[in-house]
Structures are given as structure tokens and as C-alpha cells.
Structure 1
Amino acid sequence: MRIAKRDDWKTEPMPSASTKIALEKLYSQEEFDRITAGVIPEQMEDKWFIFYEAPWIYFHRSWTGFCIFKVRFEVVGDSVKIAEVQVNRDPAEYSNTDDKRNASMLLILLNSLSGRDLRNEMLRYIKGQ
């Protein structure tokens, strides 16, 4: 498995117009290792470029390079938890300002990377909860 690095794709920094949102989630070390491997887009349909630089994982839109999410993790015993989430609030780069939908989208991305079942997160996202 190839590990994504910042230099693998065009990236823009998180703009100063950003905000923190609350999100609690624990992952096992094995799941965290899968998350931190990231994603390098392989085709036009791949919407995200994701890479890890401790202690942050960065989520960039693949077409624009805009940083949409930054997530900082902390080790807690045998697990790794989300400690902080920053979301892009620059309307020229990202127009979704609904914190619940942003949290749901981010959980879908993280759980997909970790190998977890996505059905419940997808249903919550679709329902806007």
C-alpha cells in the first residue's frame, strides 16, 4: 500500500476563514493506520486527496486542492481519538456551513478509510442528522 504524502498532489492551505466543529470518535490503532495511509486520487471521479502529517490528517478536494477538513488525533490507551476538527469556511472554496452535515461527511470519509461499515453514517448524512 502506498502512503499518501503532501507532495503527491496539488494542495492549498486551510484558509484563515475556518472553524472548529465538535466530533467524537475512537479508532483502534489498526484502523488509524489505515486512515493515515490516506488517499491519492487515481481518476477524475476520485473527489479527495487525503494525507497525514502528525498529528493532523488533511482532506483536500482533488480538483481544486482546497483544504476542506483538518483532523488532529490523540492516543488514548490502546485507541486513537479525534481531538480537534477544523473546517474550511471560505465561501469561495467551500459553501457547506452546516456543522452536522460536515461532521457526518467527515465521519463517512474517516470510517471508509478505516474499513468500518458506512451504512449508519450514510443514512444519517442523507437524512441530514
Structure 2
Amino acid sequence: MPDDERVIRSMFAGRLQPISVRRPMPSVPRRRWSDEDWARIQLGYCSRDMDDKWDVLVEGNVVFLYRSWTGYGIFEATFARVEEGSWRITEAVVERDQERYRNDDEEYDCVILELLLSNVVLGEAALELRAKFVELTRKASG
């Protein structure tokens, strides 16, 4: 799929499943995305091979993030323009069915949501987010 082709739900042939146990995220990424970032995010992201773990699509101002292997919905993030040239997440929902998504750490959810948008969709290195992700992963397992 070309990088400038918009990802749409029909590309997944009914394989995508909505979040089953919805929980509002108490904190969302504070980042402000530019108009250019938002335009790229709106194109979404379709996993290219078995190593890719996420599919992302946008309908209206809602970004849906799905696990690529299972089609399970994990995050939904609503974006809004906050000022000229600036967008941010105003609310988000996360999956809390432990069979679909085993995490239950709110800080981790916030970091992984921003990391997926920054790194997977926008292609940014996102080194600080990656470091925070590693720190939270170690904390959870140790």
C-alpha cells in the first residue's frame, strides 16, 4: 500500500473487532500535533508484514488502533483542533478485557498510545517515548 493511500475499514474484510470492555483513559498524551501531523495520522497505517503489530485507521476525528494479528481494538483516541495549526487528543478509550489486552497501567497506556502515533504512524524516532516505554515495561515486569 502506498504511504499516501488512506487506510479504510473495508481493507480489513470485516476482521477488525471493536473494543469489548471500554474504559476511558484518565490521562491522554499532552502532545500537540501539527496540521501536517494530523493530515498524516488521518491516512492511518496498515501493517506490512508479520513484524508489524498495529493497524491504525481514522474515521472523522477518531483514531482507532487495532492489534494486527488479532484485529482487536485496543485504543480509540478523539482528536480536536485546539488552535490554528494544532491538534491534540481530547479523550481516549482503552480495552480492559484481559484476554485481549493484558496491560492495566494507565501511565503505560498513555505512553504507548503516543508512541504508536509518533513512531508507527508518523515514522518519528520518538527516543524519549521509547525510553519511557522501556522504563515502564521494566517496572511492570520487575
TM over 0.5: yes
SS at match of 1:94: coil
Match of 1:99 among 106, 111, 131: 106
Matched, 1:18 2:22: yes
Q: Partners in 2 of 1:47 and 1:85 — Cα distance? A: 20
Range with bigger deviation, 59-68 or 31-40: 31-40
Q: Where in structure 1 do 4 or more consecutive aligned residues deviate above 4 Å?
A: none
Deviations 1:58-100 (CA, angstroms, capped at 9, x unpaired): 0000111000000000111121110111000011111111111
SS at match of 2:46: coil
Q: Is the 8 A contact 1:20 1:86 kept in 2?
A: yes
Range with bigger deviation, 51-60 or 21-30: 21-30
Report the counterpart of residue 108 of structure 1 in structure 2.
115
SS at match of 1:74: strand
Q: Partners in 1 of 2:51 and 2:122 — Cα distance? A: 20
- Normalized against structure 1, the TM-score is what? 0.93
Match of 1:4 among 7, 12, 17: 7
SS at match of 2:113: helix
Match of 2:128 among 89, 100, 120: 120
Q: Quote the RMSD (CA, aligned, Å).
A: 1.3
Report the counterpart of residue 38 of structure 2 in structure 1.
32
Q: Is the 8 A contact 1:13 1:67 kept in 2?
A: yes
Query: What residue identity is the alignment partner of 1:126?
Result: V
Say which one has the larger Rg: 2
Q: Is the 8 A contact 1:56 1:72 kept in 2?
A: yes
**Could you tell me how far 1:115 is from its partner in structure 2?**
4.3
Q: Where does 1:31-50 land on structure 2 (aligned, <5 Å)?
A: 31-50=37-56
Q: Per the alignment, do residues 62 and 115 of structure 1 end up closer, same or farther by CA in structure 2, a change over 3 Å counting?
A: closer
SS at match of 1:96: coil
Match of 2:65 among 43, 59, 62: 59
Unpaired stretches in structure 2, ≥5 consecutive residues: none
Query: What residue identity is the alignment partner of 1:12?
Result: Q
Q: Partners in 1 of 2:89 and 2:31 — Cα distance? A: 6
What is the total number of aligned residue pairs between the two structures?
A: 128
Percent sequence identity over aligned pairs: 27
Q: Is the 8 A contact 1:73 1:81 kept in 2?
A: yes
- Normalized against structure 2, the TM-score is what? 0.85
